[in-house]
Amino acid sequence: PPRISFRNVGLRYFSPRGETEALRGIDLDIRPGEFVAIVGQSGCGKSTLLSLLAGLVPPGSGTVAIDGVPVTGPGRRVGFMLQQDTLFEWRTILENTLLGPELQGGDMAAARRRAEALLTRYGLGEFMHHKPGQLSGGMRQRAALARTMCLEPDILLLDEPFSALDFQTRLMLADEIADIIRREGKTAILVTHDIPEAISMADRVVVLSRRPGRIRAIHDIAFPSAGG
């Protein structure tokens, strides 16, 4: 069964300036552990798709489901990584990583062990007690990923995660992040308008057309076989 399913999903925004049909007739299944990229021009509905999955907006028509259960609001199974990392400058990297568990409550000693292990795996072991201002853009994004992963989401949403970074950093980081996400067995959806980035990171690339956003094509890149 799919981890994520969109069934005939449509969505319109209403604003004082009028009505915008952002998405129409979206049908898409995503397998557990699959990495899917959504590409298309600005305004084609990419962010709206992520918002639906995150439970931030309800679909106007159709259903969005995780493991067969319709999404009705924000839940703990979905984590975000955003373009602009939102690290707090006055907190250390470790303290930033622990922010989510602090807000959720629960076993902080376990959360701290998890955070330290994640940061070490992401090459930030020596920088745990540094402030974000002392880190490079790429390191900040890895710290932002650690913070998301510390909440142990099954599904990771990446919204233009590298677009604020310089070209060299993004090339390196795109591969690194894709590897990390695969190794940890997460199901991921990447939204980007950078097609090379989509192809290098994803198993499948979904192309959206604009106004209304519809699926125009789905390209299979690869799906790693079990154990491979």
Residues contributing to the site for ligand ADP (CB under 6 A): 13, 15, 20, 22, 40, 42-48, 83-85, 137, 140-141, 163-164
Q: What is the DSSP letter of 210?
A: S
| Interior/surface letters 166-181, b for 16+ CB within 10 angstroms, e for the rest | eeebbeebbebbbebb
Shortest distance, CB of residue 224 to ligand ADP, whole angstroms? 28
DSSP 114-141: HHHHHHHHTT-GGGTTS-GGGS-HHHHH
43, amino acid identity: G
Which residue, 81 or 111, has its beta carbon nearer to ligand ADP? 81
Q: Minimum CB separation from ligand ADP for residue 44, in Å?
A: 4
The minimum distance between CB 141 and ligand ADP, in angstroms, equals: 6
Q: Could you tell me if 49 and 23 are in contact, meaning their C-beta atoms sit under 8 angstroms apart? A: yes
Closest to ligand ADP by CB, 3 vs 24, is 24
Q: How far is the CB of 27 from ligand ADP (least distance, A)?
A: 18
What residues have CB less than 8 Å from 44, skipping those under 6 apart? 208, 209, 210, 211, 213
Smallest gap from Cβ 16 to ligand ADP, in A, equals 9
The residue (of 63 and 83) whose beta carbon lies closer to ligand ADP is 83
CB of 45 to ligand ADP, least distance (A): 4
Q: Which is nearer to ligand ADP, 33 or 40 (CB)?
A: 40
Residue 135 vs 178, nearer CB to ligand ADP:
135
> Distance (Å, rounded) from C-alpha 79 to C-alpha 23?
22
In the three-class reduction of DSSP (H, G, I as helix; E, B as strand; rest coil), residue 212 is classed as: coil
Q: Which helix (H) or strand (E) element contains residue 52?
A: helix 46-53
- Cβ nearer to ligand ADP, comparing 3 with 46: 46
